[in-house]
Amino acid sequence: MNFEKYVNRTYKKFEDALPFYAKRIFRTVGEAENVLAFVTKEHLRVPPQRDRMTPINAGEQWGGEYKNIWLCADVTVPEEADGKILYAIPETGAVETLCFVGDRPVGMLSSKGAALTGAHTAAIISKNAAAGEKISVAFECYAGHGCLGTQPYDKYEADTTPNASFCRSYGGIRICVMNEEIKDLVFDIKTA
């Protein structure tokens, strides 16, 4: 007896369930407030001084080819995150994001895996958060650049301008905790 029809239905259910649960790996417990921004083409090695920065609000546009936006904020740990691992998720549309706690780099985020599992979209900002604690965070977010010779019909080494504007939108910085059971379920589904 052939059950291929039912096996395929089961795999289809797994595929449909994956994005539903992946969105629920991280639960938002707060937002970074009073976020400051600095746009540059320079490759800074540490977050810029805050007196060089200006306030940014959700919905504002940033970017351009080869441009970075630096975001800095102080996060107050909410009561419900007390004693837990605390994550920050900068919603910037950036291709890559370098994350800092204080002046120390703590991780690299990539938008490339966000739709799949959220595996590289959150940075740990505290391994044992204490309610009321203030944590200084900064993010260097890269807008992107054209890469000649990597797309169909590109002329290798052609002197042309990329057709993308590399314009991004800032959506805020979410402060989250992870639901370990949902994370495990997502990776089990993906494995299956």
Spatial distance between the Cα atoms of 169 and 175, rounded to a whole number of angstroms: 18
pTM beyond 0.85: no
Look at residue 114 in the predicted model and tell me its pLDDT. Answer: 52
Quick one: 155 exposed, middle or buried, by C-beta within 10 A (0-12, 13-18, 19+)? exposed
Structure-token pair, residue 37: 């921004």
Spatial distance between the Cα atoms of 92 and 34, rounded to a whole number of angstroms: 16
Mean pLDDT by 10 residues, the chain (192 residues): 79 86 92 95 91 96 94 96 96 92 91 55 94 96 78 52 77 95 88 79
Q: Which amino acid type is present at position 42? A: E
Q: Which helix (H) or strand (E) holds 6?
A: helix 4-22
CB environment 55-79: b (16+ within 10 A), e (fewer): ebeeeeebbbeebbbbbbbebebbe
Look at residue 15 in the predicted model and tell me its pLDDT. Answer: 85
**List of residues 6+ apart from 124 with CB closer than 8 A:** 85, 86, 87, 106, 107
| Helix 180-191 / helix 4-22 crossing angle, nearest 10 deg | 150
